[in-house]
């Protein structure tokens, strides 16, 4: 049972957006998906509450404040949304169970420095050899200097880049309805789905 953790200690980088979309992708493939939310804001849990009954089922994962619970039998795929400031004991708990860690980052100097430190912490963790780690650029406008700086940064890391997702209202509008790119007609979100191809292949490998 693959457990995908979406993590970055900096807030506002798009962790919940990425976690809900990944859960939606797994559900679209017919998997029994659970979405857990360790973040105090509980954005992913709120999103699940908005999800219509007609959409593919994504279950809530009971994640307590003192420990990460085991998903029940029958679950085939798990996605875990984590809080800002993920360090120390909590990070170690997450690393124990993670098969894949997706690290979102935005093209700003603050995000870049925070992510650099976090990646160093991940690599030094005693469970680092267990999980595959990948980066996803969030809200990236390829025409900007900030995007150029982001590309320069990730090229130096030695960590695979799984994609660069554009800044679009599609994510905002779909989230407000508890939906993902994978719940609507392809023609409506074709450009965005193209940006997910590498990430989806990585998740399936």
> What is the rounded distance in angstroms from the CA atom of residue 123 to the CA atom of residue 116?
11
User: In the structure, what pLDDT confidence band is assigned to residue 55 with cuts at 50, 70 and 90?
Assistant: very high
Return the axis-axis angle of helices 197-204 and 15-28, rounded to nearest 10°.
70
Which domains does the chain carry? 3-204 (3.40.50.300)
pLDDT at position 190 is 97
User: In the structure, what pLDDT confidence band is assigned to residue 69 with cuts at 50, 70 and 90?
Assistant: low
pTM of the model: 0.91
> What is the rounded distance in angstroms from the CA atom of residue 59 to the CA atom of residue 196?
23
Note the pLDDT tens digit of each residue in 140-158: 888 888 788 888 888 888 7
Q: Are the C-beta atoms of 173 and 47 separated by less than 8 Å?
A: no
Q: Are the C-beta atoms of 10 and 110 separated by less than 8 Å?
A: yes
DSSP state of 72: P
User: In the structure, what pLDDT confidence band is assigned to residue 68 with cuts at 50, 70 and 90?
Assistant: low
């Amino acid at each position: 049972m693959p457990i995908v953790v979406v993590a970055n200690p900096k807030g506002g980088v798009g962790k919940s957006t990425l976690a809900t979309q990944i859960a939606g992708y797994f559900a679209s493939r017919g998997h029994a998906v659970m979405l857990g939310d360790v973040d105090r804001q509980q954005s992913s849990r709120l999103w699940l509450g908005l999800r219509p009954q007609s959409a593919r089922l994504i279950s809530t994962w009971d994640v307590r404040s003192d420990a990460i619970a085991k998903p029940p039998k029958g679950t085939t795929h798990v996605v875990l949304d984590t809080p800002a400031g993920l360090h120390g004991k909590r990070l170690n708990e997450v690393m124990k169970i993670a098969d894949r860690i997706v690290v979102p980052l935005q093209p700003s100097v603050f995000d870049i420095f925070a992510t650099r430190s976090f990646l160093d912490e991940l690599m030094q963790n005693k469970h680092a050899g267990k999980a595959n780690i990948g980066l996803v650029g969030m809200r990236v406008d390829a025409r900007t200097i900030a995007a150029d700086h982001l590309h320069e940064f990730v090229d130096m890391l030695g960590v695979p880049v799984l994609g660069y997702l554009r800044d679009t209202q599609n994510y905002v509008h779909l989230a407000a309805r508890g939906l993902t790119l994978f719940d609507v007609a392809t023609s409506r979100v074709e450009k965005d789905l193209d940006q997910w191809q590498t990430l989806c292949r990585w998740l399936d490998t």
